[in-house]
Amino acid sequence: MKKFLTAAIAATLAMSSMGVATAAEAQSRGHQEQRHDRRDDRRDDRNDRREERRDERREDRRDNRSDRREWRQDNRDDRREYRQDQRAYGRWQQSQRRYNAGRYYAPRGYQQRDWSYGQRMPSYYRSNQYVVNDYNRYGLRAPPRGYHYVRSGNDVVLAAIAGGLITAVIAGLFN
């Protein structure tokens, strides 16, 4: 029985010392877990902030993209309006005022005719005799590059120099 009693006391002491060690380990484990939890919380916070910054940058890029689109569209509209303003004359228009410019003689083999947009003037009309160089005198705007005014009867035609393609007709400019 002595042996049994000694064994029981030894076991109790062993268990109590193990229990103390277990409590100490549990306490240190608790501190480690708290440290790990805090570290995980900091990581989560960093990741959250990183994601927020990323989202903000995405939104900024989208805003910039839409701003660029609007800017390009505004530029297109401005260019379109500018080109329309530069086209001083419609395809056909009646002159507001009539000028005396001397008698008109049609080229040999041609009769006076009414021209319209898109037609081609024959090469005879592109000679200096029919080209109107003093367009300011007759209240006309300067022709665009590659075009000139050509007199045909009492009308003036804005035609391409190279091919004679008619862009505008100003009817009744001359008496």
- Any residues with CB less than 8 A from the CB of 160 and at least 6 apart, and which? 146, 147, 167
Whether the predicted pLDDT of 174 surpasses 90? no
Q: Which residue has the tokens 């086209």?
A: 87
Split at pLDDT 50, 70, 90, the class of 98 is confident
C-alpha torsion sign, points 106, 112, 118, 122: negative
- Any residues with CB less than 8 A from the CB of 118 and at least 6 apart, and which? 165, 166
Split at pLDDT 50, 70, 90, the class of 33 is confident
Whether the predicted pLDDT of 89 surpasses 70? no
- The model's pLDDT over 138-154, given as tens digits with 9 standing for 90+, comes to 888 889 899 999 998 88
Torsion of CA 167, 172, 173, 174, to 10 degrees: 130
Torsion of CA 123, 127, 129, 130, to 10 degrees: 50
Query: Residue range 125-145: average pLDDT?
Result: 88
pTM beyond cutoff 0.85: no
Q: What is the pLDDT of residue 148?
A: 94
Query: Residue range 155-167: average pLDDT?
Result: 92
DSSP E strands, the chain: 92-94, 131-132, 147-152, 155-160, 166-171
